[in-house]
């Protein structure tokens, strides 16, 4: 299904009806857009053909149109009793505001009408973004979700929800394929949605920004992982400190053996005090999964694994993100031998050493590199002939870097993003020859560090 959908998108791109804004780690279109005129025409035609109706304000006419709408996009408070008048609805998208204030009512409206499941039982797609669902006037209630037995896609992104909002019997979602809670903060000890056998894409992660720090909440790794051979994307599952950690790792290891189609995996390791290792003896080859191309690891590694070896990583890895790994020796000699690696992100304290070296011929396909908050690095040596395809480089908070790196040895570099002090250093006359071939050199702002 994914390949067929990609073919449809490629056809639209070739006809210039859709434009690529950003490409993903595998080279496919990640973010796309359309020209204003094309958008206006598409909205008008979609409404005329009853393919999609966009609600931008409340009025009687739009409430009447809700009686026949099959796909609805709400950019405002929904018409009164919308669910009652939309018995033919198959898809519902609702966009709100990302800015939340606990002292303020729901940002959309002080009195939101509630959607009900009397007229929405045939929904296959439910997507809600940027809405505070905790207030008494919340637009949806848990009873709405319990009635959507035909649902295939459930997306509740960047929302605030009550504590037990997602504790719903799994038999309510027999056909669910996509579960997307990106940016939504929630707490629970068990997640019955996790038991739906038809799941293909699961995103249980949360990135939350505070002025100068970054916090992550994730769903605990469940012990019952027997039904998920169809999963292609799995993030963020986490381990927590406790007696059952080893059992959870063994279940994850067992799951990976059965997930023949797994392409993307993200593991979030929570611990405090004594280190509960992300990788340890017995799980050393946990990540050697033939089909994994995208890998994110958050958490400390055990001491004897702080030295990377090539056998620890998937051979077809295309995108790798490490954070808080605590690696003590330069990981570049190993990582640069990954022949398919296109994107590498070494984030907060993933490396605790003082020197990085990229050698000649290393990273043959690397296009994007991010070095973020590696506080101990004093030298980064870039040899001629290394990273022959690198086009984008981000450097953030490398406070101890004594010499600006030899970027002149990477002639393909086109975009350079630097944060504060490094940006100022790059502008010094003695470093001009190192960056004069780069077409775009930008200073990063705090909210863009992890984008």
Please state which CATH class domain 35-199 belongs to: alpha beta
Burial class for 23, CB neighbours closer than 10 Å (0-12, 13-18, 19+)? middle
Dig out the tokens for 335 from the structure: 């990582």
Over residues 208-220, mean pLDDT: 41
Answer whether residue 276 shows pLDDT above 50. Answer: no
Q: Which residues of 24-41 are buried (b: 16+ CB within 10 A; e: fewer)?
A: ebeeebeeeeeeeeeeee
Locate the domains of the chain by residue range.
35-199
Residue 335 CB-half CA count within 13 A: 25
Measured CA to CA, the distance from residue 341 to residue 320 in angstroms comes to 8
Q: Which residues of 182-200 are buried (b: 16+ CB within 10 A; e: fewer)?
A: bbbebeeeebbbbbbeebb
pLDDT tier, 244 (very low <50, low <70, confident <90, very high otherwise): low
Contact 234, 265 (CB under 8 A): yes
- Closest C-alpha to 25, from 446, 318, 338: 318
Peptide bond preceding 236: is omega within 30 degrees of 0, i.e. cis? yes
- Selected residue with higher pLDDT from 34 and 113: 34
Measured CA to CA, the distance from residue 69 to residue 260 in angstroms comes to 39
pLDDT digits (tens, 9 = 90+) for 422-440: 888 888 889 999 999 999 9
**Gyration radius (Cα) of the chain, Å:** 24
Burial class for 162, CB neighbours closer than 10 Å (0-12, 13-18, 19+)? middle
Q: What is the pLDDT of residue 307?
A: 64
Measured CA to CA, the distance from residue 372 to residue 396 in angstroms comes to 5
Answer whether residue 168 shows pLDDT above 80. Answer: no
Using the 8-state DSSP alphabet, how is residue 385 labeled? T
pTM (2 d.p.): 0.79
The dihedrals phi and psi of 171, each to the nearest 5 degrees, come to -70, -5
pLDDT digits (tens, 9 = 90+) for 111-150: 444 565 556 788 999 999 888 777 655 556 666 777 788 9
């Amino acid at each position: 299904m994914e390949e067929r959908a990609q073919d449809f998108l490629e056809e639209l791109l070739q006809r210039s009806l859709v434009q690529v804004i950003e490409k993903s780690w595998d080279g496919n279109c990640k973010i796309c857009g359309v020209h204003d005129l094309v958008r206006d025409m598409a909205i008008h035609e979609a409404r005329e053909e009853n393919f999609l109706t966009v609600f931008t304000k409340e009025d009687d006419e739009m409430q009447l149109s809700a009686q026949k709408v099959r796909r609805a996009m709400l950019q405002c408070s929904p018409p009164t009793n919308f669910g009652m008048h939309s018995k033919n609805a198959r898809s519902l998208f609702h966009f709100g505001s990302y800015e939340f204030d606990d002292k303020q009512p729901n940002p959309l409206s002080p009195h939101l009408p509630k959607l009900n499941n009397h007229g929405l039982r045939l929904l296959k797609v439910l997507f809600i973004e940027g809405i505070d669902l905790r207030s008494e006037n919340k637009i949806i209630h848990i009873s709405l979700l319990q009635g959507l037995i035909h649902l295939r896609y459930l997306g509740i992104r960047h929302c605030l929800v009550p504590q037990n909002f997602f504790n719903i019997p799994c038999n309510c979602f027999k056909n669910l394929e996509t579960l997307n809670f990106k940016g939504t903060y929630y707490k629970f000890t068990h997640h019955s949605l996790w038991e739906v056998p038809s799941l293909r894409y699961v995103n249980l992660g949360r990135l939350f920004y505070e002025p100068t720090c970054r916090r992550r909440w994730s769903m605990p790794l469940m012990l019952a992982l027997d039904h998920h051979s169809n999963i292609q994307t799995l993030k963020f599952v986490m381990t927590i400190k406790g007696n059952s950690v080893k059992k959870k790792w063994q279940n994850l290891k067992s799951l990976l053996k059965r997930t023949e189609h797994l392409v993307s995996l993200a593991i979030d390791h929570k611990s405090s005090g004594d280190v509960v290792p992300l990788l340890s003896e017995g799980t050393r080859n946990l990540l050697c999964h033939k089909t994994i191309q995208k890998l994110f690891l958050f958490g400390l590694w055990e001491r004897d694994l702080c030295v990377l070896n090539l056998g620890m990583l998937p051979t077809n890895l295309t995108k790798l993100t490490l954070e808080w790994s605590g690696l003590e020796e330069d990981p570049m000699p190993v990582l640069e031998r990954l022949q398919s690696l296109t994107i590498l992100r070494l984030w907060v304290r993933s490396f605790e050493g003082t020197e990085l070296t990229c050698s000649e011929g290393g990273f043959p396909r690397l296009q994007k590199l991010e070095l973020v908050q590696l506080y101990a690095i004093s030298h980064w040596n870039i040899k001629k002939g290394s990273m022959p395809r690198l086009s984008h480089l981000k450097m953030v908070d490398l406070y101890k870097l004594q010499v600006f790196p030899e970027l002149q040895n990477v002639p393909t570099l086109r975009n350079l993003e630097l944060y504060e002090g490094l940006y100022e250093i790059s502008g010094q006359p003695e470093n001009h020859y190192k960056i004069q071939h780069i077409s775009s050199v930008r200073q990063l702002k705090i909210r863009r560090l992890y984008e």
